[in-house]
Chain A
């Protein structure tokens, strides 16, 4: 479990990126952290893993204080950054040097993940393409079997088949005692993958809800004309009509469109917060 209490963080003392953010994240969920460029998604992940320290408030990850960077904490969490690092080693060499640090590392699963992601043993890792390097690190991170897995823009640099394989793999490895936290601005890549959505903008928590709750509170549909513009949180004209996001007052069933949800929430933050009753203490 991750508990963020009144977190304040900023690279500049005068301009804080997060102010008084409180958030509780439970194991057994795949979280999607959505935000615009520069909204502070990577910063939040870095705070969770102990690469950055809160300026105020506290963070607790499975009972550990991340800023201490204790080995017993670090072997339970793995961060895949947007830009990955691979040294001039072969796959076997990397596994031999890095896997002993992770007690839960499963060599057979690692081989299987590499196969599933179509990563071939073709010499030194640093000579592979960026996409291949990223897939290698994803396979390694998953094989480490850490309780918390943080992925920062994991699909950046992956081709379309790889994105599909990635989604399949993440849903395949998910267990109730794990927490997967995916930060991205490529919202479509998370479709059918995440079960809880967190949206942050300008250091503020705009939404923290399960996909089920979102479907209950909002309605995503395409209409020919808009009757009551006041109800609209977001609209987008398409060939089939006008795609809208409105408050679900009549219990209609609809499929959550993450991209439209993101636009609806970031364009109408107050309205969204009122619908979802998002408080500072969420």
Chain B
């Protein structure tokens, strides 16, 4: 018997994962998509299409993925369900893969399809509502367009999604109860520490600092003038590799190691 991966057994596990807690998985996904629809609509009314698309895309993909990710290993909030999960005859790899498949592949795919349909619907409604005889028709028509999945914002959101969801998956295996809240708190503490330490170091090196972002730039005041010191490109590239690849891969790999070593 293959103790690492068996397609038939993985099929059973995947089916069990989806159908054992349908309210949590399907209900939560449905709720997230409904909330995103509402956010899009409200933001469109108050701020216009651009902010509506950006805000709902960020919250839907990164926020929703992160929230769903925190449920993937939420068996450990009781002794009975935790024991049942860990002693279920499936390999650690299969259990990890099952969670990754749902939170990291199926949910984003479903969200992207939903978002495209929702966005296309609202944009089409807007275009249809325009007066085609108006001299401003062309300008107004071109003002609103579909959100680009390959644009700069989308690419940043993909990265945030991978970081946040990976952190949520990892956190759910370290915190048995209220894992989402505890992981979010740890994340906030790490961010505050990173910015705080960066600021402290910038002040120590440059004196008067107006603004500073870790691994990015420092704005300093020199006499009556102001200037921005950026991280050298070569150093920024190294940071980019860590931020774009190393940390997300690390955050999605830790759950596998943690699941293998988890005692309960």
Q: A83-B78, A85-B80 are in contact. Are A71 and B16 (CB under 8 A)?
A: no
- Cβ-defined contact, A87 with B20, below 8 A: yes
- Output the least CB separation between B116 and chain A (Å): 33
- Cβ-defined contact, A71 with B6, below 8 A: yes
Interface status of A98 (Cβ within 8 A of chain B): yes
Partner of A89, one of B12, B20, B84, B91: B20
Task: Name the A residues within 8 Å of B263 (CB-CB).
Answer: 51-53
- Cβ-defined contact, B89 with A101, below 8 A: yes
Q: A70-B3, A85-B78, A85-B81 are in contact. Are A50 and B15 (CB under 8 A)?
A: no
- Output the least CB separation between A205 and chain B (Å): 23
Q: A72-B3, A85-B80 are in contact. Are A97 and B89 (CB under 8 A)?
A: no
The residue in chain A whose Cβ has the minimal distance to the Cβ of B263 is A52
Task: Name the A residues within 8 Å of B84 (CB-CB).
Answer: 81, 85
Task: Name the A residues within 8 Å of B78 (CB-CB).
Answer: 83, 85
User: A75–B6 Cα gap in the complex (Å)?
Assistant: 14
Interface status of B157 (Cβ within 8 A of chain A): no
Task: Name the B residues within 8 Å of A70 (CB-CB).
Answer: 3, 91
The 8 A CB mask of A236-268 against B (1 = contact, 0 = none) is 000000000000000000000000000000000
Task: Name the A residues within 8 Å of B20 (CB-CB).
Answer: 87, 89, 97
- Output the least CB separation between A13 and chain B (Å): 14
- Cβ-defined contact, A81 with B88, below 8 A: no
Q: A52-B263, A98-B16, A101-B12 are in contact. Are A71 and B83 (CB under 8 A)?
A: no
Task: Name the A residues within 8 Å of B264 (CB-CB).
Answer: 46, 51-52
Task: Name the B residues within 8 Å of A50 (CB-CB).
Answer: 86-87
Interface SS of B by simple majority: helix
- Cβ-defined contact, A88 with B3, below 8 A: no
The 8 A CB mask of A45-79 against B (1 = contact, 0 = none) is 01001111100000000000000111110110111
| Total A-B pairs, Cβ < 8 A | 77
The residue in chain A whose Cβ has the minimal distance to the Cβ of B85 is A85
Interface status of A102 (Cβ within 8 A of chain B): yes
Q: A87-B20, A88-B23, A97-B19 are in contact. Are A74 and B9 (CB under 8 A)?
A: no
The residue in chain B whose Cβ has the minimal distance to the Cβ of A70 is B3
* Range class of the B interface residue count: 20 to 34
- Cβ-defined contact, A74 with B87, below 8 A: yes
User: A74–B260 Cα gap in the complex (Å)?
Assistant: 14
- Cβ-defined contact, A71 with B87, below 8 A: no
- Cβ-defined contact, B79 with A74, below 8 A: no
The residue in chain B whose Cβ has the minimal distance to the Cβ of A42 is B79
Task: Name the A residues within 8 Å of B90 (CB-CB).
Answer: 71, 74, 101
Task: Name the B residues within 8 Å of A84 (CB-CB).
Answer: 80
- Cβ-defined contact, B79 with A71, below 8 A: no
Can you report 18 A-B residue pairs in the complex whose CB atoms are below 8 A from each other? A49-B83, A49-B87, A51-B83, A51-B263, A51-B264, A52-B263, A70-B3, A71-B1, A71-B91, A72-B3, A74-B88, A75-B89, A83-B80, A87-B20, A89-B19, A97-B12, A97-B15, A101-B89
Residues of chain A at the chain B interface (Cβ within 8 Å): 46, 49-53, 68-72, 74-75, 77-79, 81-85, 87-89, 93, 97-98, 100-102
Given contacts A51-B83, A72-B89, A78-B87, 19 further A-B contacts (CB under 8 A): A46-B264, A49-B87, A51-B86, A51-B263, A51-B264, A69-B86, A69-B87, A71-B3, A77-B87, A81-B80, A81-B83, A87-B20, A88-B23, A89-B19, A97-B15, A97-B20, A98-B16, A101-B13, A101-B89
